[in-house]
Amino acid sequence: MANDAQAKRIVVLISGNGRNLQAIIDGCASGAINGDIVGVIANKPDAYGLSRARNADIPSWVIPHQDYADRQAFDSALQARIDELEADLIVLAGFMRILTDDFVRHFLGRMINIHPSLLPKYPGLNTHQRAIDAGDSEHGATVHFVTPELDDGPAVLQGKLQINADDTAQTLATRVMQEIELTLYPEAVALYCDGKIKLTTTAPYRAIKQ
């Protein structure tokens, strides 16, 4: 974990395996990221990422979205927990929920996401198959600030790879994760924690690199 008094307080939101979470845990442990993960929150109780958090002695919580009447109620509960943790940065790491505008605006400039495409290409789901179907020669992942419009926030970092002739959606997803995401996301978190990137506070939003 980071020892610097100015280390950023990071909260990671997950829904599944938590591979990107693990990469960020490792980055904090090595000192590559000047931050401490002060909480991991999942919306699914069987998310394997919760085990990763426990193995690293990181506090974790489950807030099941199905326990709430609507998205607004769920997001309000999620926001309250994050605020209690006094998060400097919220990292969406495979968090499979569309967040309400109120939630996004509350954390505007403090929340980042990684999306498995070369945004602005292919926002939303099934990005790997869509890239193959379009006959693209390259594909990749984008770390971006979260803004109210889905997958539309300004890019922080982007990584590319070549699409092979025999790639399927599954093989492409695996390659993007292993060859790009697991390196790109910790790098972006480190930039934020070092104060080297920030988001303008009014639309049209821009990522400023310092």
Q: What would the pLDDT profile of 70-89 be if each residue is shown by its tens digit?
A: 999 999 999 999 999 999 99
- The pTM assigned to this predicted structure is 0.95
- Positions annotated as catalytic residues are 115
d(Cα 210, Cα 208) in Å, to the nearest integer? 6
Confidence of residue 50 (pLDDT cuts 50, 70, 90): very high
Q: Is the pLDDT reported for residue 156 higher than 50?
A: yes
Least Cα distance to 18 among 103, 93, 113 occurs for: 93
Complete DSSP assignment for 82-99: HHHTT-SEEEESS---PP
Return the ∠ at Cα 160 (arms to 134 and 144), rounded to 5°.
Answer: 95
Q: Around 119, how many Cα atoms within 13 Å sit in the side-chain half-sphere?
A: 23
Q: Which residues contact 177 (CB under 8 A, 6 or more apart)?
A: 19, 116
